[in-house]
């Protein structure tokens, strides 16, 4: 038996000596009322450290709100307890989230002029939309552009993704990584849009506009 359940009121000896149908005492994780569960149900749900005396208490525990402080503007606001545990960084609005994320980037230094230009344009066009650039946190593989609220990502694939510029082995490695990235996005319910930028040999704003238009059209259709 695991003894790290937070609200059981019985000893390990009592648990070991009890039969499957014997009832053992718990304190409700929400209302603190004492209630009883048969041993076979405890064993079945041993991984769940919290126990509730009713579905009502379970629901109210999930929907409970606590005060938190916005990481960007320091404003106090209420947030659901289950969201606090899932998302430890607190933002009072999408605007604050976007401002913080876009000013605290620590990744993505090896990016092309096209990517840098697109970053500037997208932040200007969507100031209230959290857009992450060159992040690896979501699928443990870098996404050029990722918009969490839309479950939407973009990859800008240059000529190295299609031709063996550095040899056939390197091309195969790149394409295998592309396949893994696409599969990881599917598993995380992220729509990954792959944009072929291989025809742009040199960066120019004029030739970059078409890639920006592709991205903004997809974003606008998803919003």
pLDDT above 90 for 218: yes
Helix ranges, the chain (H): 12-17, 39-44, 55-62, 81-86, 94-103, 113-125, 168-187, 205-222
Count of residues for the chain?
A: 223
Q: Within a domain: residue 95?
A: no
Q: Model's pTM, two decimal places?
A: 0.52
The answer to whether residues 6 and 26 touch, using CB atoms and an 8 Å cutoff, is no
Q: Within a domain: residue 40?
A: yes
For residue 152, what is the domain's CATH number?
A: 3.40.960.10
**At which residue do the structure tokens 């990722």 appear?**
146
Q: Are residues 112 and 213 in the same domain?
A: yes
Q: Within a domain: residue 149?
A: yes
Going by pLDDT thresholds of 50, 70 and 90, the confidence category of residue 41 is confident
CB atoms within 10 A of CB 119: 19
Q: Are residues 122 and 208 in the same domain?
A: yes
Predicted local confidence at residue 110, as pLDDT? 61
Report the distance separating Cα 22 and Cα 176, nearest Å.
Answer: 55
CB atoms within 10 A of CB 83: 14
pLDDT tens-digit profile of 78-90?
887 767 766 778 8
Predicted local confidence at residue 187, as pLDDT? 94
Report the distance separating Cα 215 and Cα 193, nearest Å.
Answer: 9
Q: Within a domain: residue 42?
A: yes
Q: Within a domain: residue 82?
A: no
Question: Which of 153 and 68 is assigned the larger pLDDT?
Answer: 153
Q: Within a domain: residue 98?
A: no
pLDDT above 80 for 22: yes
Question: Which of 1 and 26 is assigned the larger pLDDT?
Answer: 26
Q: Are residues 49 and 153 in the same domain?
A: no
* Average pLDDT over every residue of 136-161: 93
**At which residue do the structure tokens 């230009």 appear?**
117
Predicted local confidence at residue 120, as pLDDT? 92
Pairing verdict, β 152-157 and 191-196 = parallel
pLDDT above 50 for 4: no
Question: Which of 194 and 61 is assigned the larger pLDDT?
Answer: 194
Predicted local confidence at residue 101, as pLDDT? 65
Q: Are residues 137 and 196 in the same domain?
A: yes
Domain coverage including residue 17 = 12-62
Going by pLDDT thresholds of 50, 70 and 90, the confidence category of residue 77 is confident
Percent of the chain with pLDDT over 90: 40
Report the distance separating Cα 118 and Cα 25, nearest Å.
Answer: 60
Predicted local confidence at residue 54, as pLDDT? 87
Predicted local confidence at residue 216, as pLDDT? 97
Q: Are residues 129 and 198 in the same domain?
A: yes
Predicted local confidence at residue 6, as pLDDT? 59
Q: Are residues 133 and 199 in the same domain?
A: yes
Q: DSSP of 54-113, one letter per residue?
A: SHHHHHHHHT-EEEEE-TTT--EEEEEHHHHHH--S--SSHHHHHHHHHH---S--S--H
Report the distance separating Cα 57 and Cα 207, nearest Å.
Answer: 58
Q: Of 31-45, 47-61, 152-166, 198-212, give the lowest mean pLDDT range.
A: 47-61
Q: Within a domain: residue 131?
A: yes
pLDDT tens-digit profile of 97-131?
766 665 554 444 467 899 999 999 999 999 999 99
Q: Are residues 160 and 214 in the same domain?
A: yes
Q: Are residues 112 and 47 in the same domain?
A: no
Q: Are residues 113 and 193 in the same domain?
A: yes
CB atoms within 10 A of CB 12: 11
Q: Within a domain: residue 150?
A: yes
The answer to whether residues 150 and 222 touch, using CB atoms and an 8 Å cutoff, is yes
Domain count, the chain: 2
Give the chain's mean pLDDT. 84
pLDDT tens-digit profile of 159-196?
999 998 888 888 999 999 999 999 999 999 999 999 99
Q: Are residues 212 and 156 in the same domain?
A: yes
């Amino acid at each position: 038996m695991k003894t790290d359940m937070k609200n059981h009121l019985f000893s390990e000896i009592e648990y070991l000596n009890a039969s499957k149908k014997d009832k053992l005492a718990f304190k409700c994780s929400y209302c603190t009322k004492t209630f009883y569960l048969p041993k076979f149900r405890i064993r079945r749900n041993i991984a769940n450290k919290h126990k509730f005396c009713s579905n009502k208490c379970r629901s109210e525990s999930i929907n409970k709100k606590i005060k938190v402080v916005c990481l960007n503007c320091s404003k106090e606001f209420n947030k659901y307890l289950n969201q606090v545990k899932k998302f430890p960084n607190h933002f009072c609005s999408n605007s604050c989230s976007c401002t913080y994320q876009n000013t605290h980037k620590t990744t993505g230094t090896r990016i092309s002029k096209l990517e840098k230009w697109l970053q500037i344009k997208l932040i200007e066009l969507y100031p209230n939309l959290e857009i992450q650039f060159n992040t690896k946190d979501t699928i443990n593989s870098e996404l050029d552009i990722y918009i969490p609220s839309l479950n939407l990502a973009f990859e800008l694939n240059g000529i190295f993704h299609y031709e063996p510029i550095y040899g056939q082995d390197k091309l195969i490695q790149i394409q295998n990584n592309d396949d893994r990235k696409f599969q990881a996005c599917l598993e995380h319910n992220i729509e990954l849009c792959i944009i072929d930028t291989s025809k742009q040999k040199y960066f120019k704003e004029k030739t970059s506009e078409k890639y920006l238009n592709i991205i903004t059209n997809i974003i606008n259709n998803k919003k």
